[in-house]
């Protein structure tokens, strides 16, 4: 262990009470189950680089990040962390931190450069992921693989609009998934079909802040497109789950699911029934939109049908049967969560492409109380009690085991490696959110099986470029040197101590 590593342990986390907001920020180091998995997470476009190396085709993000004028802070991920060329070093880094799990995504256009079901396969891309998976397994790190983390091949977008054409995309996605199961499924035992369909639907096809950048100003149909995209994702997910269960699951003994993101919402004015109802309805529009069809095998939530009317697509009888049949196959609920917000019901007429049920969200309530201390981003507040409530909300509605597939935060000034390494704010954030998981498990009876920190390393943060740094490992984007932060050692040590405490507790 280096001198730097020995400086940090679970006991070193700053604990305090934030008198300015009234939030108790004391880390208790509550126990976690002995078999609770800890891991790190990344996404292909954010870390790999190698944008056109070894036959990789363009994705919609390769195009979007090069638009002029720039919509990504003048930055792109052509090189990023250069994980494509430095992958062995990164696997060894994870092994040094005693990581149990590495969740990563496959770049679709790296293994099928043009993306389509009749297009050639790039064997060099296949070889890269085979090498990564083999190295992880050799280091006793479980690979958890996401098939789609926002980076559709540009060619299928040019051909038919990608997610805007349900039938074409579903057929191409099934072909791509089958290739992955065939080539990697003997070693990969956890698959994720889509990462954060809400973000794909709203931020990429309504607000236009993510690739491919659809928005009202671009002349696209923002009243209908987001809901069509969401519909495509749900049906493509179900089709791949069905195919995996029929063709691969028995021999490969793996499991498959989807990853959904979501804030928890508190009422803006806790004395107003309208705001209480708004907080619950915002959860339904954010999470229930996808989770009800996927995990319950049902139609979209009634609240959405009532508010959106014909903007929301209908499921055919065959599609309803597909959803019903595949719902129980989803092995766990993949939860990406970062913060909590207040929800306020508005009385003014909504925009004709409103997607929230006319609800405003904020970090400050009617009494001027902040939901929690601010991190390196204004919207991301430290609010672990909301996280505990979200775990309960998901468990009670879907009763599916939960794995927290992303959680973390940035803070300011981390370009400087010395400041980045001494990241006690992030350590405290992690400690508080792990405490929330422990209380949800032991006090509330929620089944939570693992926690994957976002992210393994600082990377390209989509439209924000290289500004926000979520990594537990600092990356110098000039030299590409990796330097573990205090939070990396904190997570290593706290999981060791919390799981030991749990074992003692279970024995007692």
Indicate the SS3 state at residue 228: helix
Indicate the SS3 state at residue 403: strand
Backbone angles phi, psi at 165, to 5 degrees: -115, 100
Which residue, 126, 503, 192, 455, is CA-closest to 334? 192
- Structure-token pair, residue 146: 């996401």
**Can you give the three-state secondary structure of 460-484, one letter per residue?**
CCHHHCCCCCCCCEEECCCCCCEEE
State whether the Cα torsion 198-200-203-208 is positive or negative.
Answer: negative
Alpha helices (H) along 399-477: 417-421, 424-442
Catalytic-role residue among 142, 266, 385, 406: 406
- Structure-token pair, residue 285: 């529009």
C-alpha 245/C-alpha 236 separation (Å) is 14
Catalytic-role residue among 196, 225, 266, 385: 196
DSSP state of 269: S
- Structure-token pair, residue 315: 């499921």
- Beta-carbon contacts of 115 under 8 Å, excluding residues fewer than 6 positions away, are 57, 108, 109, 152, 153, 154, 155, 156, 172, 176
State whether the Cα torsion 268-272-275-281 is positive or negative.
Answer: positive
Asked if 168 and 194 touch (Cβ cutoff 8 Å), the reply is no
Backbone angles phi, psi at 467, to 5 degrees: -70, -75
C-alpha 489/C-alpha 98 separation (Å) is 10
C-alpha 134/C-alpha 16 separation (Å) is 43
Distance of CA 508 to the CA centre of its chain: 36
Is residue 406 part of the annotated active site? The answer reads: yes
- Structure-token pair, residue 407: 């959680």
- Structure-token pair, residue 462: 């989509």
C-alpha 286/C-alpha 304 separation (Å) is 10
State whether the Cα torsion 230-234-239-245 is positive or negative.
Answer: positive
Would you name the residues annotated as active-site residues? 196, 406
């Amino acid at each position: 262990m280096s001198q730097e590593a020995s400086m940090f342990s679970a006991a070193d986390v700053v604990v305090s009470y934030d008198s300015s907001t009234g939030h108790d920020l004391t880390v208790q180091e509550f126990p976690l189950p002995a078999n609770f998995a800890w891991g790190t997470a990344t996404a292909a476009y954010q870390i790999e680089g190698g944008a056109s190396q070894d036959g990789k085709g363009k994705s919609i993000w390769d195009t979007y990040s090069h638009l002029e004028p720039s919509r990504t802070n003048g930055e792109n991920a052509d090189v990023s962390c250069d994980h494509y060329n430095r992958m062995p070093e990164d696997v060894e880094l994870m092994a040094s931190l005693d990581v149990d799990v590495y969740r990563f995504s496959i770049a679709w256009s790296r293994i099928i450069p043009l993306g389509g079901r009749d297009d050639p396969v790039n064997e060099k891309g296949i070889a890269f992921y085979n090498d990564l998976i083999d190295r992880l397994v050799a280091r006793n790190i479980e690979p958890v693989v996401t098939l789609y983390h926002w980076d559709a091949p540009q060619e299928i977008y040019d051909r038919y609009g990608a997610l805007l054409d349900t039938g074409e995309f579903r057929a191409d996605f099934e072909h791509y998934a089958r290739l992955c199961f065939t080539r990697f499924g003997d070693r990969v035992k956890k698959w994720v079909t889509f990462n954060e369909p809400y973000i794909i639907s709203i931020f990429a096809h309504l607000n236009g802040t993510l690739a491919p950048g659809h928005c009202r100003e671009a002349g696209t149909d923002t009243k209908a497109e987001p809901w069509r995209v969401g519909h495509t994702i749900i049906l493509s997910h179900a089709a791949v789950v069905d195919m995996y269960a029929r063709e691969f699951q028995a021999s490969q003994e793996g499991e498959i699911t989807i990853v959904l993101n979501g804030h928890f919402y508190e009422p803006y004015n806790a004395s107003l029934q309208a705001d209480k109802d708004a907080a619950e309805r915002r959860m339904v529009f954010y999470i229930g939109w996808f989770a009800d069809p996927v995990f319950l095998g049902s139609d979209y939530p009634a609240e959405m049908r009532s508010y959106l009317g014909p903007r929301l697509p209908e499921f055919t009888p065959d599609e309803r049967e597909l959803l019903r049949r595949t719902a129980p196959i989803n092995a766990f609920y993949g939860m990406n969560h970062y913060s909590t917000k207040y929800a306020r019901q508005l009385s003014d007429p909504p925009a004709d492409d409103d997607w929230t049920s006319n609800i405003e969200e904020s970090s400050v309530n009617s009494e001027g109380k902040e939901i929690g201390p601010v991190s390196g981003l204004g919207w991301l507040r430290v609010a672990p009690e909301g996280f505990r409530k979200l775990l309960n909300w998901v468990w009670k509605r879907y009763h599916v085991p939960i794995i927290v597939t992303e959680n973390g935060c940035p803070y300011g000034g981390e370009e400087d490696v010395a400041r980045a390494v001494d990241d006690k704010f992030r350590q405290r954030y992690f400690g508080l959110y792990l405490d929330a998981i422990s209380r949800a498990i032991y006090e509330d009876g929620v089944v939570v099986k693992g926690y994957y920190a976002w992210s393994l390393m600082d990377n390209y943060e989509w439209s924000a470029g290289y500004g926000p740094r979520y990594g537990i490992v600092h990356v110098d984007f000039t030299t590409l040197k990796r330097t573990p932060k205090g939070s990396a050692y904190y997570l290593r040590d706290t999981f060791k101590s919390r799981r030991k405490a749990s074992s003692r507790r279970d024995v007692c």
